[in-house]
Structures are given as structure tokens and as C-alpha cells.
Structure 1
């Protein structure tokens, strides 16, 4: 029977493998994993604030702001007005193009890890990970 530490280490090793492979694949598009993640979240939540994006991508507000500036300079995002003094961002045509190409890269990276699992196994793994996250979130409060 696996110990809690062995399970935790297996999760961490798989995450590290995914990050490394994703960054290698995304580099061919001129993106990092963090940049692609911003594009992905902004596509899914077009009204997200920089603070929201920082939380979704595990960054500080300051680092997300600096990243957004660089992504605007590269033509991936554009600034748009929001309510009050809020500044929001949206994907440009180029940003949408590389988001889609990056999504294909990530699908391939994840297929290498999970492609051998049957659909019901993937569902079960997702359920178990979701349950672990919910349990950890409840105990952190």
C-alpha cells in the first residue's frame, strides 16, 4: 500500500514532467506555460481582472501585471476599459491563435501521461483529485 508521502511525490513528479514537457513544446510557439495559462483563462473568462488572472495562474498581482504588459507588447493581449478605473485585457487575434496552438501542445503532453487510461479511469482519477483538493481546501480554512 502506498504511503501518503509516496502518493504526494508521485503527484509532484507527474506535475513536474508536465510542466517541463509543456514548456518545451510551448517554446516553439514563443510561449511559456504561464503565458499560455493566462491566454487559456482569459479565453474562458473574458471579464477576468488582473487579480483574478493572478490567482488562477498562481502568481502575485504584481507579477501578473508585469506579465500582462509583456503580453500586450507582444500583441497577445490588448487592454480594454472596465468599470470605474479597472483595466481588463482580452485576447488579440494573435493571442487566440497561439492559445489554440498551445492547447494542442498541452493535449499532447497530457495524452502521453493519461492516454493509456480508459475513460472511466480518467473520470475516477479526476474525482479522486477533486476530492483531495476539496478536503485540503476545507482543512485550510
Structure 2
């Protein structure tokens, strides 16, 4: 499993670079697309980063025009995707779909269902 994950990450990063993105940046865009009101702390947790590293990444993504800061309740600062961020998310999503199609996508539907069941079972046995 880990070897496949590494292969996915390497290939996704290589192809995302053509769009000016890294896998980590696309992951932030993906989570903000799914949860537009996520806090910086939530984004850090979702992307397996520290609050500090997520803050630095968000700052760079703001400078590139992918994100914008939005005032939240109290002192909370939220981030939203800009139009450019949405376009980058969509382009990155196509990249990730193609990477997965070339690996897991070569399995039959029945094989993918079994794989999914086994992964869910293994994750639940912790």
C-alpha cells in the first residue's frame, strides 16, 4: 500500500508542477473546496501539517492569488478559494483522477470493491 501511495504522490507532484501546484497545495484547495468555512487549524489537521506550516503555506497561496482571507467569528480568520484557486483545484483534480485511473483504475469494478472493503476493514481494526 505504501509503495502505491508513494508512486501516486511522486507522479501527482510531477504532473501538478505543470500547473504550478504541489500535491500539498492541491490538497489544501481540495479541502477548502469541500469545506469553505474551514479554519486554518482545521486545514492543518486535514492536510497533516502543523498550524505554523499551514499558516506559511496559506500565506504563499494568498500571494499567488489562490486563496483569500475572510473574517470569521471572533478572531478567527478563514480562507476561501479565489477564482484562480477554483481553476487550480479543477486542474489538479483532473491530474489526480488520471494518476488514479492509471493504477487503481486498471482493476475491475469487483476488484476495486474488494480492495475498498479490505482497506475499510484494516482501518477499522486499529
Give the TM-score category using the shorter length: over 0.9
Q: Structure 1: which 5+ runs fail to align?
A: 1-10, 137-141
1:1-141 map, 5 Å = 11-136=1-126
Following superposition, which runs of at least 4 residues in structure 1 exceed 2 angstroms of deviation? none
Which structure ranks higher in relative contact order (CA pairs < 8 Å, sequence separation ≥ 6)?
A: 2
The alpha carbon displacement at 1:100 in A equals 0.2
TM-score normalised to the size of structure 1?
0.86
Aligned equivalents of 1:123, 1:51: Cα separation in 2: 34
The alpha carbon displacement at 1:127 in A equals 2.1
Aligned-pair RMSD on alpha carbons?
0.9
TM-score normalised to the size of structure 2?
0.96
